[in-house]
Amino acid sequence: MKIVRTLLSGAAFTFALTMAGPAAAEDCPRGDLDKRYCDANGDLVADTPTDPADQVDPDTLVFAYTPVEDPAVYKTAWADFLTHLEKETGKSVIFFPVQSNAAQIEAMRSGRLHIAGFNTGSNPLAVNCAGFNPFTIMASADGNFGYEMEIITFPGSGIEKVEDIKGKQLAFTSPTSNSGFKAPSAILKGDFDMLPDRDFEPVYSGKHDNSILGVANKDYMAASIANSVKARMLSRDVITEDQVLTIYKSQTFPTTGFGTAHNLTPELKEKIRGAFFNFEWEGTSLQAEFEKSNEGQFLEMTYQEFWEVIRKIDTANGVSYACE
């Protein structure tokens, strides 16, 4: 058993991970990547193993979407895309309903997860410690992409601006979430000189829908959330506009990054990439769910470029990753 420790503002957050196999013996450039990976081309993600014996071509592919809400919702939403993925790859594809970011990262690191969408904040950990190779994000039909972190409260809470949270409770989602922890932590510290425990009581809901529902039902005084999740919940009538009030909205961040495990064969990786980029959204279950947050295509991207702002937020928060 190996442990990945993520240091977040001096507090240790621990993932228990299972090793997939021995670390690579050869000396290779790797930057911040775990010692089992190489990065010969300097693109910040793990290379495909050069030895064909270390590459995998499974008969059944396992797909998991970041657990931002109830996994049952997304098993239905992804159904048509996974059928398309089966046709493009010639393989069976199953949906893995992960319950936490840690479980999703563990699954890829241990070789049990082949294709995934990791949330914004956990992408760096998935890349560096699990060999995740992201290559696409969702975007609107006109090419716009991303979401904003919002701090929300409920009408009548007595909180009208960020400073009013002092002495009160603020709900985060989990330490690996960008909008649910990392971005608000950096913004509250840098722009408002507000620290957890000193200035407000931090609590953790586990997921964005839990935080949003918690505020709507007045269980939490305030919460930091991804507004793309809020938009989908409003569209499904899970909450109503008059139940929540936004008191802060951030810059735009990249949304969920999709990609593969690093050690799939190059041929299989290309088929999977092709399935994302030639998928026809119109009339599908994927469109029905994600058009609620104005998304309608897969846009090609690189982790090196698109996640630069997230890596800067990690640096501002004093985050460091050690994969042992």
User: What is the residue-level pLDDT of the chain in tens, covering all 324 positions?
Assistant: 233 333 333 333 333 333 333 344 457 998 899 999 999 999 999 999 999 999 999 999 999 999 877 777 889 999 999 999 999 999 999 999 998 888 999 999 999 999 999 999 999 999 999 999 999 999 999 999 989 999 999 999 999 999 999 999 999 999 989 999 999 999 999 999 999 999 999 999 999 999 999 999 999 999 999 999 999 999 999 999 999 999 999 988 999 999 999 999 999 999 999 999 999 999 999 999 999 889 999 999 999 999 999 998 988 888 876 676
Distance CA 293, CA 251 (A): 17
Contact 145, 197 (CB under 8 A): no
Residue with tokens 């505020």: 215
Contact 132, 118 (CB under 8 A): yes
Paired with 133 in beta bridges are 260
Tally of CB atoms within 10 A around 278: 10
Integer angstrom CA distances of residue 113 from 15, 53, 96, 110, 142: 16, 19, 8, 8, 31
Paired with 65 in beta bridges are 117
Integer angstrom CA distances of residue 269 from 45, 50, 57, 208, 261: 14, 14, 10, 31, 9
Residue with tokens 């936490």: 100
Question: Kind of pairing, strands 60-65 and 115-118?
Answer: parallel
The C-alpha angle 237, 69, 59, rounded to 5 degrees, equals 130
Strand, helix or coil for residue 108: helix
End-to-end CA distance of the chain: 10
Residues making up the chain, counted from first to last: 324
* Phi, psi values for residue 17, rounded to 5°: -125, 150
Contact 205, 257 (CB under 8 A): no
Please, what are the domains in the chain? 2-143+254-323 (3.40.190.10), 147-253 (3.40.190.10)
Strand, helix or coil for residue 300: strand
Q: What is the pTM of this model?
A: 0.79
Residue with tokens 């722009």: 191
